[in-house]
Structure 1
Amino acid sequence: MADKQINKVCVIGAGTMGAGIAAQVANAGVPVLLLDIVPKDGDNRNAVAEGAVAKMLKTQPAPFMGKRAAKLVETGNIEDHLDKVAECDWVVEAIIERLDIKQDLYAKLEKVRKEGTAVSSNTSTIPLAQLTDGRSDAFKRDFLVTHFFNPPRYMRLIEIVAGPHSDAGTVDMVRDFVDRRLGKTPVDAEDSPGFIANRIGTFWLQQAVNAAVDQGLTVEEADEIGGRPMGVPKTGVFGLIDLVGLDLMPYLQQSLTSTLPKDDPYQKIARSEPVIEKLIKEGYTGRKGKGGFYRLNRVGDKKEKQAVDFKSGEFRAAARPGIVRGPAAKGDLKALISADGKVGDYAWAVLGPTLSYAASIVPEATATILGVDEAMRLGYNWKFGPFEMIDKIGAAHLRERLAADGIAVPAILEKVGDGTFYREQDGKRQYFGTDGEYHDVQRAEGVLLLSDIKRDSEPVLKNGSAALWDIGDGVLCLEFTGKMNALDNEVMKLIGKAVPLVQKEYKALVVYNEGSNFSAGANLGLALFALNIAAWSEVEKLVKGGQDAYKALKYAPFPVVGAPSGMALGGGCEILLHCDSVQAHAESYIGLVECGVGLIPGWGGCSEMLDRWRQNKRQPRGPMPAVSKVFEIISTATVAKSAAEAKELGFLRPADEVTMNRDRLLFDAKQKALAMVDGYTAPEKPEFNLPGPSGAAALQLAVDSFHKQGKATSHDVTVSKELAWILTGGDTDVTETVTEDQMLKLERAAFMRLTKDPKSQARVEHMLETGKPLRN
């Protein structure tokens, strides 16, 4: 860990990237000064920076993780407030990509920054050596490149380029900060044009466009072949270009052709396409404009998705080609590039040269193959990095096809021979180095991955939907393993076995997995099957089994720590509500969404949320305020869009902690669990004083009003009525005590009544078929 620390940051440049970087610094709880130019018109000299913050508060997906973060952003302008740089430990320059303007700013910064303050550029095109030309030795020591990817909150990659004069301590300070505090994965890049991700990514996009045009494919055919089957974003190439902006393509092309050597392979494929020029000229710059290669166009009463025709440049109705089938459609890259006809021809035309190019820039752009793979996975959302793809195809097979087509075979591809770029040796993952030897993949201090543990061990317990892993120091990890990490009876059975096992032989339990999402909730497919055959006893068994399992976790005689990342919905949220503590990844999206499918939380979510909100010090005293708030949150299927927002909504407690870097989540959760072991006591069982039927009637009046206004459907009214009955304690009044078990009984009864309602069954079926809620 770096000796020096960053306590305040200055970002200069309040455009999309600069403002986004400032927002992520604020998301980390660190004060940030955002500066930009003084506008030519108007009296407000800070209007540019202030406008950027105001815009971000309205933008979706949101740059800020919560509105409180925005308060940490101080705005100003370069002319009046540059002296405030002296208060900062890191200055990020994110202004226009013009060398003269950047150098002019650096000259001013040199006069006001304090010694040791890191200065970095977010450039993706200008070499570091040119940026620091003419600056003092002291400035050069504290200077580096920190290339963020857009949007800065959500993209995990940051490329770090240090110059020959850069101070190692300063670079370590920034690297540590972006890793632990900003949640980024730093990848060290060399000071070469385009660095890593954009150099490979631009080549890939250009090659894909060229091949589609040359081979006479439609936009939709190219995207079907070059999307999910390749393990790259499901948008495909043309959908991705629409997302990032068509107008960016000529800019990236000009940047790379002007800085790369004349013999670089990219120089041979860089070309302009008349159709792209036409689209940009007509305002079709992608999703930020009127559309791009795709657009939505009103035809009659409906909006029709349309795609551009390469030859005419005109739009037509988009089609679903359905031309990729069999193993190729399921991610078998060798089958994909070997497929007959246009599928194989296009796949090879894109992948062959791209993988060759990616292999050729090691070690020029980055020291090892790890940097290339990390950059493309995290910077371009590829499922696998280029060298991982080569292993799937087979290095020898790729080499033979490249040679046969007259494409240069990179030295490292020759050197690996018939071997692979990654292998497992003695439980360790190893990578092939430029020296021809294999080296262990090293994890940074504080990084613990379940995937690494799995390589060197067997599960302590396992069934079809869950597994228990020993993660060391007396801590077990409960992992969900079903599709979307859905929860079913098998998960509950394993929890039932885990509790006595941990009590007898271990110290604590962490609930965690490395899927894209923590859990999408109960397995609706199994539930619908049971509903269709009227197996009501099985449904009730599932509900009761979940309640019992979650209670067993809650009252276990050892600490249980939940560690979510991604979506934790429905039953996935409820298991977190029953944990002693939660160590959440910052990008955790938590909510009780059952009402959206015509049901109510059935695994204790109602009573747990009620218990939290009645303890909320911001709430007025008395039974109704907490009941009303929980009713509002659950009935509207509200989902927190960050861990910070989950705290505001009560899904997380004030004392629950947040990990910014996904790779550090399991380690942090384990440390939290171990810290709770000594002197641990299980929580006391809650008791409630609830308003009963009069309170339910008050809630129902509000729902009826929404129904009359057309804001709630008839079935929303039915579901809300059941939810209100639970939250107000059923047939009780405020003088009586309602126990947790009584609340669970109310949940079960309401859940069963709703499952027998055909409208709820229709909602469940519609969600499974379309992934969208049915408004019936």
Structure 2
Amino acid sequence: MDIRKVAVIGAGVMGAGIAAHIANAGVPVVLLDIVPQGASNRNIVAETAVEKLLKSDPAAFMHKRNARLVTTGNIEDHMNLLADCDWIIEAIIERLDLKQNLYKKIDAVRRADAVVSSNTSTIPLQDLVAGMPASFAEHFMITHFFNPPRYMRLLEVASGVQTQPEVVQAVSQFCDVKLGKGVVGCKDSPGFIANRIGIYWIQTAILAAMELGLTVEEADAVVGKPMGIPKTGVFGLSDLVGIDLMPHLMDSMKRTLPAEDAFHAKAIIPAVVSQMIQEGYTGRKGKGGFYRLNRLGAEKIKESINLQTGEYSKSQAGRLDSVANTRKLADLVNYPDKGGQYAWQVLSQVLSYAASLVPAIAEDIHSVDTAMRLGYNWKYGPFELIDQLGAKAVAERLTAEGLSVPPLLKLAAEVGSFYRVQAGKLQYLTTAGEYQTIERPAGVLLLEDIKRTSKPVAKNASASLWDLGDGVLCLEFTSKMNAMDPQILGMIQQAISLVSKSYKALVIYNEASNFSVGANLGLLLFAANIASWDQIESMVKGGQETYKAMKYAPFPIVGAPAGMALGGGCEVLLHCSAVQAHAETYMGLVEVGVGVIPGWGGCKEMLQRWVTNKRRSGGLLPPVIKCFEMISTATVSKSAQEAQDYLFLRPSDAITMNRDRLLADAKTRALAMVEGYQAPEPIEINLPGPTARVAMEMAVRDFQSMGKATPHDGVVSNQLAYVLSGGDTDMLDKVSEEQLLQLERTAFMNLLRTKNTLARMETMLETGKPLRN
């Protein structure tokens, strides 16, 4: 079955977020909620929810226009709107009686083949469908989204004994391809996978930190980067999620878990946490949490709570020898200080608990690891962590400490590990003691799999080339933060040469968090500090020539970004034949933040796109002003959809919702362009010259007088205005690409010689934040 229209009932934070993300996929969605008593506007709940979504930060909608796909209403007047929906999602409060009453109303109006699902994670599926007709139960399942639905990739799917397999398949495929979800099948057990382990982990980490006398900073330093967990750690995560939610989650788990489950021993709310909740310290949504910002006049001071006394003091970095002196997780858990002791205490309990739950919560360990990576942003799942520590070493230490060893962990200790690579294929250990190869779904191609079966075609310290098969080469950036540097530029040139001789097309892609954050500032600053101006100008020109060679290559080059594509990373994409972008791609030319302008053809490409844009009107000035506004304010798109508004992406560029499908989509796009491919012809454009430059300079002065622009902002913006206006050209004259590139280089070098630009670069490298000088 195809899913072309969806309904969500329940316009709370979760339900509304689900509706917004379905709209992001371009699918019409109906959003219904109750009629509040005495309300003059009977749709007020759903309508207010959409208004909040449009104002939310981070944004729930990938583009504000997506809100037009949401039809609001209420469950008393508008149940008829469900009649043509293919999938109906219930996301109301966790009360069985209310859910079952709603299901009866839904069943009265739904199409016979329409799927109904609940977003619950606390009520068993068999209880939800109890008393409902078999025809309803056959089309019913649980689809557990994580909040916020747009950004959290995990979707846990649970089906009942009566649920038709084709129903599960249809919803899973839709959520995978259209919504970009990592769909994980799980058993109908309390908390499913991620929350069952995740809540146990949070509680274990908090209680162990208190027991061992660690500060919140020390605990987060251990239960953070060393374990492949986001830098928020466990206390920062609790603040983010909401400390007041933990008692409710634990109560739900306690009610539904068997008495012998190890979770019960962790279901404790310490006195200091109870006091925090009572006083409104519920996390970021409240007055603060384990961390808070204390405002003293204009100054903001980060403070943290003392877990023993409940008092706040200035936050201090969690400095522990165990964290500073170890690189491997196995060394951390054996380090003789409280950090090492804490690491082992948390991991030994959490990893043992996870091992004891398979197959009760999921059929296999791979599903568990995937759920924890996607639902809690862990870099490694619990079984991957055990392999890092060594399954045998973990089992032996647990035994030595008089702790139980789950049967699955004993099995792994005997055979060696939970995962292995066999003939280039990644395999996982089953509960039967055999290894099963991980099969990727159709349409999924991962570079990590390519790397297991092949060696790079070419490689240097900052980039690699990989053969994707079918005549397509893949260029992967591997520098720190994928920052552009001379070695990447060299690899681009090498790729162009190789493809021209032996391949059909090139894809530029990587599986890091961000496509590229821009040029290597450290290298640039070093050269500037030793006044190596000729070398810098040569590097700028080299970048321009390399990107130009990409643009005019005799074969298609497809950029496939995800995450941030900023500065020089954005400029790479501007010179590709086509872009297949992940939906969560954030593009922008942000060079003004470090006191320069785009110098590798970014100004040129944006001018050409806006001046030749068929939708524009009003002469030459408006497109130039638009480019000036975007570049001078370092505008960054908040999605790939929004990037098309700015023309960072062209209307012909495509968007992939699921990150795991991005490489396959880009390869397919590249191959589809091969036959009859012709490189674009160089174009010349008219630019308004001094008239536009004066207008832009006046606008900058106005911003400075209002205090919205600093003195150096004015210097940078005036140089940018000179480039974008075409320099001293007459508006009747054509301006070539070479002329625009020369203007870029000159302005870039002029700015790099100023002390304020160098100060901006130094500050960005030291703090990661822009200097407003």
Q: TM-score surpassing 0.5?
A: yes
Q: Following the alignment from structure 1 to structure 2, what is the Cα–Cα distance between the partners of residues 298 and 465? A: 43
**Quick one: distance in 2 between partners of 1:570 and 1:11?**
39
Amino acid paired to 2:431: T
User: What is the match of residue 517 of structure 1?
Assistant: 514
How far the C-alpha of 1:615 sits from its partner, in A, is 2.7
Q: Distance in 2 between matches of 1:66 and 1:742?
A: 36
8 Å CA contact 2:226, 2:323 repeated in 1: no
Residues 183-218 of structure 1, C-alpha deviation per residue, up to 9 Å, x if partnerless?
000000001111100000011111111111222222
Whether 1:447 aligns to 2:444 is yes
Q: Distance in 1 between matches of 2:413 and 2:686?
A: 73
- The residue number in structure 2 matching 1:285 is 282
Cα displacement (A) at 1:324: 4.3
State the alpha-carbon separation in 1 of the partners of residues 314 and 694 from structure 2.
Answer: 51
User: Does residue 572 of structure 1 match 2:569?
Assistant: yes
Cα offset, 1:620, TM superposition = 1.1
Alignment match, 1:394: 390
Q: Contact 1:224–1:324 at 8 Å: present in 2 too?
A: no
Contact 1:246 1:292 in 2 (8 A): yes
Q: 1:427 to 1:327 in 2, by over 3 A?
A: farther
Query: 1:89 and 2:86 equivalent?
Result: yes
Counterpart selection for 2:21 from 20, 24, 38: 24
What is residue 164 of structure 2 aligned with on the other side? Answer: 167
* Aligned equivalent of 1:356, options 334, 352, 359: 352
Contact 1:304 1:317 in 2 (8 A): yes
The within-5 A match list for 1:696-715 is 696-715=693-712
Deviations 1:395-440 (A, max 9, x none): 0110011122232211111112241111111111111111111111
Tell me if the contact between 2:565 and 2:586 (Cα under 8 Å) persists in the aligned partners.
yes
Which letter does structure 1 place at the counterpart of 2:674?
V
Question: 1:458-469, aligned counterparts within 5 Å?
Answer: 458-469=455-466
Question: 2:347 matched to 1:338?
Answer: no
1:443 & 1:566 partners in 2: Cα distance? 23
Aligned-partner Cα distance in 1 for 2:297–2:81: 57
User: For residues 301 and 109 of structure 1, what CA distance do their matches in structure 2 show?
Assistant: 54
Residue 144 of structure 1 corresponds to 141
Pairwise CA distance, 1:606? 0.7
Question: Residue 655 in 1 paired to residue 652 in 2?
Answer: yes
2:370 corresponding residue in structure 1: 374
Aligned position for 2:598:
601
Q: Where does structure 1 lack aligned partners over 5 or more consecutive residues?
A: none
Task: Identify if the C-alpha distance between structure 1 residues 23 and 324 changes in structure 2 by more than 3 Å, giving closer, same or farther.
Answer: farther
1:415-430 matches, cutoff 5 A: 415-418=411-414, 419-430=416-427
Looking at structure 1, the residues matched to 233 and 717 of structure 2 have their Cα atoms a distance apart, in angstroms, of: 41
Report if the CA contact (8 A) 1:229-1:328 is conserved.
no
CA contact (8 A) 1:223 1:237 kept: yes
* 1:530 Cα deviation after fit: 0.5
Q: Residue in 2 aligned with 1:186?
A: 183
- Given candidates 680, 683, 687, the residue that maps to 1:686 is 683
Q: Distance in 2 between matches of 1:742 and 1:300?
A: 50
Instruction: Identify which of 534, 557, 562 aligns with 1:560.
Output: 557
Conserved 8 A contact 1:353-1:407: no
- Percent sequence identity over aligned pairs: 60
1:404 pairs with 2:400? yes
Amino acid at match of 1:481: T
Given that 1:475 and 1:510 are in contact with CA atoms closer than 8 Å, whether structure 2 keeps it comes out as yes
What is the CA distance between 1:316 and its match in structure 2? 2.4
* Cα distance between partner residues in 2 of 1:438 and 1:495: 40
Tell me if 1:347 matches 2:343.
yes
Shift of the alpha carbon at 1:328?
5.8
Summarize the Cα distance change of 1:49–1:398 in structure 2 as closer, same or farther, 3 Å threshold.
same
What residue number does 2:721 align with? 724
Amino acid of the residue matched to residue 763 of structure 1?
R
What letter corresponds to residue 132 of structure 1 in structure 2?
Answer: V
CA–CA separation in structure 2 for the residues paired with 1:49 and 1:630 = 38
2:55 is aligned, of 54, 58, 61, to: 58
- Whichever residue aligns with residue 395 of structure 2, its letter is R
Task: Indicate the SS of the match to 2:55.
Answer: coil
Matched AA of 1:154: Y
> 1:378 Cα deviation (Å)?
0.6
Per-residue deviation, 1:621: 4.2
Partners of 1:400 and 1:247 in 2: CA distance? 38
Q: In terms of mean alpha carbon deviation, does 276-285 or 512-521 score higher?
A: 276-285
Say which SS state the counterpart of residue 429 (structure 1) adopts: strand
| Partner residue in 2 for 1:747 | 744
Where structure 2 has 5 or more consecutive residues not aligned to the other structure, the ranges are none
CA distance in 1, matches of 2:143, 2:323: 42
Q: How does 1:220-239 map to 2 (within 5 A)?
A: 220-239=217-236
Classify the secondary structure of the residue corresponding to 2:442. coil
Q: Aligned pair count?
A: 772
Contact 2:323–2:332 under 8 Å retained in 1: no
Aligned pair partner of 2:620 in 619, 623, 629: 623
Contact 2:507–2:557 (8 Å) recurs in 1: yes
* 1:508 CA drift (Å): 0.6
Structure 2: which amino acid aligns with 1:687? E
Distance between the aligned counterparts of 2:452 and 2:325, measured in 1?
27
- Which residue of 1 is the match for residue 209 of structure 2? 212
1:708 offset after TM fit, Å? 1.0
By how many angstroms is 1:346 displaced?
1.1
Matched, 1:155 2:119: no
| Aligned match of 1:253 | 250
Contact 2:322–2:337 (CA under 8 A) maintained in structure 1: no
